[in-house]
Amino acid sequence: MDMIVAFLKEQPLLLLFLVAAIGYPLGLIRVAGSSLGVSAVLFVGLAFGALDPDLRVPPVIYELGLMLFVYNIGLSSGPGFFRAFRSGGLRYNLLVGGMLLFAATLAVILSLGFNLPAAEVAGLFAGGLTNTPALAGVVEALKLNGASEAIQSQPVVGYSIAYPMGVLGVILVIQVLMRVFKVDYGREARQLKEMGGSAEDIVNVTLRVTRGDIAGVSVGELVKGKEWHALFSRLQRGDEEILVKAGTTLLAGDLISVIGTEGDIQPVVAFLGERANDVTLGEDRGTYDYRRVFVSNHQLFGRRLSELTITERLGALVTRVRRGDLDLLATANTVLEPGDRVRVVAPRDRMREVSKFFGDSYKALSEIDILSFSLGLVIGVLLGQIPVPLPGGGVFRLGNAGGPLVVAIILGWRERTGPLVWTIPYSANLTLRQIGIVMFLAGVGTRSGYAFFQTLAGSNGLPLFLGGLLITCGTATVALIIGHKVMKIPFSLLIGMVSGMQTQPALLTFSAQQTGNEVPNMGYASVYPVAMVLKIVLAQVILVVLGGGV
């Protein structure tokens, strides 16, 4: 064993890949419906680091991984972060924000009550809420402010002790409270559907117009003032079939293809006529064809569909946009991103021209604009070095975690600036994020393993475990009680919000299994971006409040 340890000391890159190769598959193993995911890399790193205090991955490796991870998180969260403050999303995010402040307050009280080190408690907060970026921010803040390596290891110790119950504790709370509240998920799903708020798949329905009083009225005039979230695609009148434009007029007897969710299509059908169950427009592809096309044309990135005048230019219509695994209804305000796949309806003889317009190159989607990507990181790193004076003479910096994150959120929201496209393809974003977090977790794990096992066996081990359990279960319990009983949020939507508050996909999977529908996804998506950013900030605020080296 001594020879192996000595060899790994001399080969830090081999150590990095060995930890990743062991940890990543371990994270895929499910126990009671949940798994550690990529965080298993951290625990394997801790195990290797415990073998020898000098067995560690070089700092530059995990710092690079940290920046790649948080920058790509910011790029993908930017649009959702600002959108979350609009309409009903503001109410949900105020609840989640209040609960995260509550969790941070619990962490401070635990530190003062049990005399726990500030850095350990900040890590405890990150682990209890299963947020690796928050841990990364704390470690970076300590390093930036000259903390010793021993202190830099403390957040990792707290995080590692609290993380497992950060998942299992919330599952337990949900299981108990859904029985106490006697939740009927089926009834909630029906109520949400009636309110037009269910997370349904996008469908294509053929509508037969029966109203005679709309003869000669254009589609643009017809939809004005109505809160319809559906798209008109094709219109068939006799033997003629055309694509619907704003100026297209309707007549009784027309057949129209309407695209949207079932809940969104219902009011359109009720207003215009009835479903034509005996006819399905689109089956005949002789005149108009349809296909999914990759958006790889650099000139289209960050552009709204309304700016592209596709119908006027190509005689085509975009009906849906597939982003990752999610289908979005195409609207005039839909902004195209690298890697999107658009579903286009166009004259059969113009489909090649349409494909060329969008690019339709899979190869191009694997390429990243290195200029804009690197420039964004440069701006982020520089922002992270700006000192912000604090009361009492201290100084706060965003560091290599906070700086790139803040810049990426803004750039992700902006999409593009002139010729510079800030966003990157969805698949590339996920890949870089995954590589970055594995590098970071392997690095901090190996550097903190020795201190972790010493702490676990020492007098602080049990208080840290119980403290993490209190933060996790206490915050989840209060959030579910206030959300369901005071704010009257459906429990199926609320458990998705709590999963988003934890920024924990395993909890979202569990919630969806409990409800048997997609409603939890709505709650998760509505609060995830704000929860992600707020936890990164609050973890460092805990350090500042407790005077933990910042």
Q: Check residue 208 and report its DSSP letter.
A: E
Predicted pLDDT at 196 = 43
Share of the chain above pLDDT 70, in %: 88
The predicted-structure confidence for 119-136, as pLDDT tens digits, reads as follows 989 999 998 898 877 887
Give the model confidence (pLDDT) of 256-284 as tens digits: 888 888 778 888 888 888 888 777 776 66
Q: Could you tell me the pLDDT band of residue 395, with boundaries at 50, 70 and 90?
A: low
* Domain ranges (residues) in the chain: 2-188+429-546, 198-275
Q: Catalogue the E-assigned strands of 140-254.
A: 202-209, 231-237, 240-243
Residue 316 and residue 470: Cα distance in Å, rounded?
57
SS (H, E, C) 289-345: EEEEEEECCHHHCCCEHHHHCHHHHHCCEEEEEEECCEEEECCCCCECCCCCEEEEE
Cα angle: 92, vertex 98, 102; to 5 degrees: 145
Pair type for strands 326-329 and 317-323: antiparallel
In contact, 339 and 363? CB cutoff 8 Å: no
Across 533-542, average pLDDT:
87
Euclidean distance between the first and the last CA atom of the chain, given in angstroms as a whole number:
39
Q: What percent of the chain has pLDDT over 90?
A: 13
Q: Which helix (H) or strand (E) holds 255?
A: strand 255-261
The pLDDT tens digits of the residues spanning 453-502 come to 776 677 677 788 888 899 999 999 999 999 999 999 889 889 988 988 98
| 80-84, 145-149, 349-353: range with highest mean pLDDT | 349-353
Bridge partner list, 205? 258
pLDDT-wise least confident of 10-24, 305-319, 329-343, 448-462: 448-462
Top-confidence residue, 198 or 388: 388
Higher local confidence (pLDDT), 444 or 13: 13
Of 501, 488, 474, 473, the closest CA to residue 181 belongs to: 488
Q: How far apart are CA 290 and CA 286, in angstroms?
A: 11
| Torsion angles phi and psi, residue 19, rounded to 5 | -60, -45
- Annotate 442-465 with DSSP letters as a single string: HHHHHHHHHHHHHHHHSTTHHHHH
The CA-atom distances, in angstroms, between 9 and each of 14, 354, 443 are: 9, 56, 13
- pLDDT value at position 550? 46
Per-residue pLDDT, 15: 92
Q: How far is it, in rounded angstroms, from Cα 476 to Cα 487?
A: 15
Helix (H) or strand (E) holding 395: strand 395-396
Place of tokens 């649009």: 79
What is the average per-residue pLDDT within 228-235? Answer: 86
Of residues 310 and 387, the one with the higher pLDDT is 310
Question: Considering only CA atoms, which of 367, 310, 368 is closest in space to residue 334?
Answer: 310
250 pLDDT tier (thresholds 50, 70, 90): confident
Look up the CATH superfamily of 198-275: Regulator of K+ conductance, C-terminal domain (3.30.70.1450)
- Those residues with Cβ within 8 angstroms of residue 382's Cβ, 6 or more apart along the chain or in another chain: 403
Residue 265, amino acid = I
pLDDT-based confidence at residue 199 (cuts at 50, 70, 90): very low
Range in 357-371, 414-428, 443-457, 461-475 with the lowest mean pLDDT? 443-457
pLDDT score, position 463:
84
pLDDT score of 195: 45
Q: In the structure encoding, which two tokens stand for residue 244, read together?
A: 């619907």
Q: What is the DSSP letter of 482?
A: I
Q: What is the pLDDT of residues 58-70, one digit of tens each?
A: 888 888 988 888 7
Q: What is the longest distance spanned by two Cα atoms in the chain? A: 88
Statement: the pTM of the whole predicted model exceeds 0.85: no
Q: What is the mean pLDDT of residues 193-211?
A: 69
